[in-house]
Amino acid sequence: MFDKILIANRGEIAVRIVRACQELGVRAVVAYSQADRDSLAVRLADEAVCIGPAAPARSYLNTPALITAALITGCDAVHPGYGFLSENPYFAEICQECSLTFIGPSPEAIRLMGDKAVARQTMRAAGMPVIPGSDGALRSVDEASELAREIGFPVLLKAVAGGGGRGMRVVQEESELARAYATAKAEAEAAFGQGDLYLERYLTGMRHVEIQVLADSYGNAIYLGERDCSIQRRHQKIIEEGPSPAVNADLRAAMGDAAMRGVRAIGYTNAGTMECLLGPDGHFYFMEMNTRIQVEHPVTELITGVDLVKWQLRIAAGERLTLTQKDVRIRGHAVECRINAEDPERDFLPSAGEVEFFLPPGGPGVRVDSHIYAGYTPPGTYDSLLAKIITWGQDRDEALTRMQRALSECIITGVKTSMPFQLALLDEPDFRRGTIDLSFLPNLIQRQKGQAT
C-alpha cells in the first residue's frame, strides 16, 4: 500500500478520499486553491499544499503545480477524484513519468474512452450494443445531414470529448441541424478545447442506467450491479438509485456481461462506469465510459457493501481483487440526492453565501457525504454541490421513505438549496412507482412553469 498520496481535487470527493486513506493507514495530502484554504478536506488532511488561485486553470487544472505538490511532499501516488484532471490522459502520463502512481486506469484506456466516437467503435467491436450513428467524428454539417436523413430524425449531436451535457444538442428536423451543429461545435470548443462532434439517433422513452465495474492488473474484473440516473435536469443528475426499478436479474446479468466484455477489450483497470441507455423493451445501448469514480458511487457501496474508493487505492497499489462475481450480492435499495446550492423557485439560479447553520440528517440507513460546515462559505468558482444524502432500505419504498425523512431533517441555512424541490419530487406518483424515463423531470418542470403562469 502507498505511504502517502496527493488528492488532486476538492469538495466532498476530497473528503471522501481522505477518509479512505485514514482507514487504510495512508497519509493524505490535499492540494487546494486559495479559495479552498478553509475547506473541510484541508482541515482533515495530514498535509495540505496550496497550488494556486481560485481559477481552476491555475490550480486544479494546473498539472505542473499538482505534480510539484506531490513531489515536494513525498507522495508516491495521486488520486484525481472526479472532474478536473480525472479523465485527462496527459495528466496520467505525466504522473507515471514522474514516478507517481495515477490512481485510475492507464492513460491509454482514458484516451480511448475519452474520445466518445472512438469509444463507440471500440465497444461495438467488443460486442456491446451501440445506438445507431456516426462511426467517428463528423467532418462537416453536410455529412451530419446525410447521416441524419439515413438513420432518421430526431438525432443527437454530441461532443467527441464531451461530458456534463456540454456540446450536446437534440435536433428534431433537418431545418434545425445547421444551427445546432454550429452551436454544439462552439460550445465543445469552449468547454473541451476541441469542437469535434458525432451523431446518434435520438431515442425516446429511455432510462439512463449505468454499470459499476472494478478491474485489477491481473485480468480479474467484476461488475457491481447498476444505478439508475434517469432523474436529470439539463443532463445533470439530481437523484440516483440502485438497483434500477426497470432492471431484473436477467437483464442485470446481460448488461454486466456486456460491460465485462468492454472492460477486457481495452485492458481496463481500477474503478469505472459503463453508461447505457435502457429502453422500455429491455434493449440497452452503450453511451460512454467514465474512467473514474462517479459522484453517485455511494449508491453502489450501500447496496453491495464494497468500498469503491479503498479498492481504487488497493488496485493502484498492485493488489489483486479478492472479490469474484459470485461474491457480489445486491442487498436492499439505495437512493442519493445531490444537494446543490441553487434556488429551485428561481429556475435553479445559483445561490451564494455563507452556510450559517448545517444540521445533517441521521438515523438508520442514512449517509451524508459533504464538505460544508457552519460558518463555511462555499467558493462560487466551482460546482454548486454542497452535500450528497444517501439512504438505504430493505426495499425501494423504505429507501425513498428514509430519504423523505432525511431531507426533512437536514437543515442548511444561509444559502438556498435543491432540497425542497427533491422532497416534492419524491412525492410524484410516477417517480414513486418508478415508471420514469429521461423526459420525466424536464416535462415535470415545464408543467410546473405552465401552472405558475
Q: What phi, psi does 294 have (nearest 5°)? A: -95, 155
Residue 368 in contact with residue 392, Cβ under 8 Å?
no
Other CB atoms within 10 A of residue 219 CB: 11
Helix (H, G, I), strand (E, B) or coil at 329: coil
Give CA–CA dist 33/73, Å, rounded: 16
Instruction: Determine if the peptide bond prior to 243 is cis (ω within 30°).
Output: yes
Q: What 8-state DSSP symbol labels residue 321?
A: P
Q: Which long-range contacts (C-beta less than 8 Å, at least 24 apart) are formed by 14-21?
A: 14/39, 14/41, 14/81, 14/371, 15/40, 15/41, 15/44, 15/369, 15/370, 15/371, 16/309, 16/369, 17/79, 17/81, 17/309, 18/44, 18/45, 19/44, 20/307, 20/309, 20/310, 20/312, 20/313, 21/313
Q: Which residue has the cell 496527493?
A: 6
Judge whether 292 counts as a catalytic residue. yes
Catalytic residue, chosen from 169, 227, 292, 402, is 292
Residue 177 in contact with residue 145, Cβ under 8 Å?
yes
Other CB atoms within 10 A of residue 326 CB: 7
| HSE of 253, CA atoms in CB hemisphere, 13 A | 5
Give CA–CA dist 108/324, Å, rounded: 26
| Nearest-5° Cα angle at 117, 338 to 171 | 70
| N-term to C-term CA, the chain | 59
| HSE of 370, CA atoms in CB hemisphere, 13 A | 25
Give CA–CA dist 268/247, Å, rounded: 25
Give CA–CA dist 53/33, Å, rounded: 5
Other CB atoms within 10 A of residue 395 CB: 10
Residue positions annotated with a catalytic role: 292
